[in-house]
Amino acid sequence: MKSLEDGALGDVPLPDQDGQEFNAYTLTGELTELLLALVRSVEEQSTHEPLSDEEVMARVRGHIHRGVGMLSVRVRAPADLLMLARAS
């Protein structure tokens, strides 16, 4: 969600996922369709054209990658996560 707040990925290269498996449902559970719709909305606003389901999943991976990177510089201890949760 932090990455989506920053907007579309734009020209940011998507992470190389060769040999890695990604199952969105494992991360998002029953909210998978909502997450996919949010990513589609954010990304299609920047491209002004519909994205294929495969491209949306690639963008989901990109947002997860960018979001983890954003959090990795802000979270050094469990207490930091609590502070972020309270700020949201």
Give residue 75's pLDDT. Answer: 86
Q: Distance between CA 10 and CA 18 in Å, rounded?
A: 21
Terminal-to-terminal C-alpha distance of the chain: 11
CA 18, distance to chain mean position in Å, is 18
32: left (phi over 0), alpha (psi -120 to 50) or beta: alpha
What would the two tokens of residue 2 be? 């932090």
Give residue 20's pLDDT. Answer: 66
Give residue 12's pLDDT. Answer: 76
Its pTM surpasses 0.75: yes
CA 65, distance to chain mean position in Å, is 7
Give residue 78's pLDDT. Answer: 86
Q: Distance between CA 60 and CA 53 in Å, rounded?
A: 10
Q: Distance between CA 15 and CA 78 in Å, rounded?
A: 26
3-class SS of residue 9:
coil
Spans of the chain, pLDDT less than 50: none
